[in-house]
Amino acid sequence: MYLPYEVEKVLVSEEEIKAKVKELGKLLTEEYKDKNPLMLCVLKGSVVFYADLIRAMECPVEIDFIRASSYGSGTVSGGKVNFSVGAHVEIEGRDVVLVEDILDTARTLYTVKSEMLRSNPKSLKIVTLLDKPSRRVVKGFTADYTGFAIEDHFVVGYGLDYAERFRNLPYVGILKPEVYS
Ligand code: IMP
Ligand code: MG
């Protein structure tokens, strides 16, 4: 297995992720089978999870992409969230599902969600692969579907990066603190 020296250990294995994605796909299929949902990938971190998740859904879906970023190249959220939706993404009247890699302070999704609600989707739900509830700044903010709740570690892999690296690891691993401290 490819384990870069910066990665301390595997936190969620490839097999555990696969099983969880299948389970989430089932739940989403159940909820959205007659709704033709608009599955929105929050770039870039969720791209790997997203690609697997939509293929675990056994119903019609449409896909699109938005960009959001709050981190620079460090590991602590800057607080300011940059967010852009392609001009072509039409969400009014749609059942929208935002797909995120990780819910941390929740500043990103809070901003994105509030902005999107102004365009009057029919419904708006959030799926996140990972959740670090102990880091929440936007109190009470939760996802509608969560893969794994984890402790407060900085993690990489399966789409998640540190300074744009490690997104290609097939598992979620804990980054050695000495890499960023
Ligand atoms: P929030 O706005 O603080 O909830 O941050 C969400 C974004 O921060 C995620 O979409 C990630 O891009 C990034 N992030 C938060 N925690 C981690 C982590 O442990 N590893 C990698 N990226 C993270
Ligand atoms: Mg990121």
Residue 7 inside a domain? The answer is no
> pLDDT in tens for each of the 181 residues of the chain?
999 999 999 999 999 999 999 999 999 999 999 999 999 999 999 999 999 999 999 999 999 999 987 655 567 666 666 767 766 789 999 999 999 999 999 999 999 999 999 999 999 999 999 999 999 999 999 999 999 999 999 999 999 999 999 999 999 999 999 999 9
Using CA positions, which residue lies closest to atom 19 of ligand 1? 154
Residue 84 inside a domain? The answer is yes
Quick one: which H or E segment has residue 48?
helix 47-55
Ligand located closest to 78 CA: 1
Residue 3 inside a domain? The answer is no
Residue 169 inside a domain? The answer is no
| Letter string b/e over residues 66-100, b meaning 16 or more CB atoms within 10 A of that residue's CB | bebbbbeeebebeeebebebeeebebeebbbbbbb
Residue 97 inside a domain? The answer is yes
Neighbours of 152 (CB within 10 A): 10
How much is the pTM? 0.94
Residue 89 inside a domain? The answer is yes
How many domains is the chain built from? 1
152 is catalytic: no
Residue range of the domain that includes 79 = 14-153
Tell which residue, 159, 153, 160, has the closest CA to residue 174.
153
Ligand located closest to 164 CA: 2
> Cα of 56 to ligand 1 centre, how many Å?
24
For residues 105 and 148, the answer to whether their CB atoms sit within 8 Å is no
Q: What CATH number has the domain bearing residue 122? A: 3.40.50.2020
The binding-site residues of ligand 1, defined as CB within 6 angstroms of any ligand atom, are 45, 70-71, 77, 100-108, 154-156, 160
